[in-house]
Amino acid sequence: MIISGSASTSLAASLSSHSKIPLGKTTHQFFPDGEFIIQTNFQGDHGIIVAATRSASDHLELLQLQDAVREAGATNITTILPYMGYARQDTVFESGQPLSARAMARSIGTGTDKVIIVNPHKNIVCDYFGVPAIALDASSILAQTLPFDLENPLFLAPDSGAISLAESIRDSYGGGDIDYFEKKRISSTEVHISPNTVDVTGRDVICVDDIISTGTTTSKSASILRDRGAKKIFVTCIHAILVAGARKMLFDSGIDAIYTTDTIATPETKVSVAPLLAKIL
Ligand code: R5P
């Protein structure tokens, strides 16, 4: 049976439909002190929990879901993290700080037999759970979101870390060039983009990234592309966090559209990772 966290209800329903595995129900009871307890109707041996941990509350809910499913008799639990919060903190940045991705992964790993994460920022996070964990690359499906008649398309990564993502989308799209800018992060809301000399005049450009959070990285890149005469600028990413103000910043920078998956459900979600997940269950 599939059990869903609050942030992944549509994806869990879609996964149930693609995999023909029944979807259970979950309710929440809230207490005056702010705590909550979940209640599921889980039955069976194999529990598949689908829960993006976008917030601390999502994370706590996931730990409860795992425990409830185990209590209800599951002998095998697979935890699917469509988006794993804190995964970008995948190293100790400064002395005295935690390796947060490992701390979160360890807590999730204690309640499950296996983990599937969709496009973690870096695959190293899979080593932190203490149980088998695999990263599912959903980049190829982003090509389905793009207009079929792109003009001389250029798939642009805002930094070298996103080049393989851009290549995967370009290959699935069926053609186009790849290029990338250099990015230096100054703070969580400031980046410096060093553009190369690529000529985008009259071309459609697809800005590709794994995550868009504040929108700073992509909007800085888009402004450069707009100034250089790009025809249309489409933005595509796996995980659209899109914090408050991100959409305005992106559209103010001159982008034409944002296309993303349902790892985090947003109005920009155009394609589901459910068929890919169903294949590997
Ligand atoms: C970082 O390396 C990631 O790949 C993204 O570029 C980053 O998370 C984007 O963040 P923001 O939208 O806040 O610039």
Amino acid (1-letter code) at residue 225: L
Distance 213 CA to ligand 1 centre (A): 6
pLDDT at site 258: 98
Atom nearest to 216 CA in ligand 1: 14
Q: Does CATH place domain 2-138+274-280 in 3.90.550.10?
A: no
Q: How far apart are CA 1 and CA 143, in angstroms?
A: 31
pTM: 0.96
Distance 88 CA to ligand 1 centre (A): 9
**Residues annotated as part of the active site:** 183
Q: How far apart are CA 234 and CA 222, in angstroms?
A: 9
Distance 244 CA to ligand 1 centre (A): 15
pLDDT at site 189: 87
Amino acid (1-letter code) at residue 183: K
Q: Helix crossing, 100-109 with 56-71: angle to 10°?
A: 20
- Pick the closest to residue 81 from 34, 128, 49 (CA basis): 49
Q: How far apart are CA 24 and CA 2, in angstroms?
A: 6
Distance 170 CA to ligand 1 centre (A): 20
DSSP 8-state secondary structure symbol assigned to residue 263: S
Atom nearest to 212 CA in ligand 1: 12
Amino acid (1-letter code) at residue 240: A
Q: How far apart are CA 184 and CA 207, in angstroms?
A: 17
Cα dihedral 19, 23, 128, 135 sign: positive
pLDDT at site 47: 98
pLDDT at site 194: 84
Atom nearest to 215 CA in ligand 1: 12
User: Mean pLDDT, 10 residues at a time, over the chain (281 residues)?
Assistant: 98 98 98 98 98 97 98 98 97 96 98 98 96 97 96 96 96 96 88 87 97 96 96 98 98 98 97 98 94
**181 contacts 224 by C-beta, under 8 angstroms:** yes
Q: How far is CA 200 from CA 76, 100, 232, 247, 257, in A?
A: 51, 39, 10, 23, 18
**158 contacts 166 by C-beta, under 8 angstroms:** no
> Which residues form ligand 1's pocket by a CB distance below 6 Å?
158, 161-162, 191, 209-217
Q: Does CATH place domain 139-262 in 3.40.50.2020?
A: yes
Amino acid (1-letter code) at residue 194: S
Q: Which of 183, 190, 192, 209 to mutate to test the pocket of ligand 1 (most atoms within 8 A of CB)?
A: 209
What residues does CATH 3.40.50.2020 cover in the chain? Answer: 2-138+274-280, 139-262
Backbone angles phi, psi at 6, to 5 degrees: -60, -30
